[in-house]
Amino acid sequence: ETGVTQTPRHLVMGMTNKKSLKCEQHLGHNAMYWYKQSAKKPLELMFVYNFKEQTENNSVPSRFSPECPNSSHLFLHLHTLQPEDSALYLCASSQGTSGGPTDTQYFGPGTRLTVL
Amino acid sequence: GQNIDQPTEMTATEGAIVQINCTYQTSGFNGLFWYQQHAGEAPTFLSYNVLDGLEEKGRFSSFLSRSKGYSYLLLKELQMKDSASYLCAGLDSNYQLIWGAGTKLIIKP
Dump the DSSP string for A1-20.
Answer: --SEEEE-SEEEE-TT-EEE
- Percent above pLDDT 90 for chain A: 78
What is the predicted pLDDT for the residue at B1?
Answer: 78
Element spanning A26, H or E: none
Partner-chain contact A43 B99, CB within 8 Å: yes
What is the predicted pLDDT for the residue at A54?
Answer: 82
Partner-chain contact B30 A99, CB within 8 Å: yes
- Residue A51's pLDDT band (boundaries 50, 70, 90)? confident
- Of the candidates B31, B33, B98, the beta carbon closest to that of A99 is on B31
Among residues A51, A56, A105, A23, the alpha carbon closest in space to that of B94 is found at A56
- Residue A101's pLDDT band (boundaries 50, 70, 90)? confident
Partner-chain contact A103 B30, CB within 8 Å: yes
How far does B69 lie from chain A, in Å, by closest CA?
A: 18
Partner-chain contact B91 A99, CB within 8 Å: yes
Is pLDDT of A2 > 60? no
Is pLDDT of B46 > 60? yes
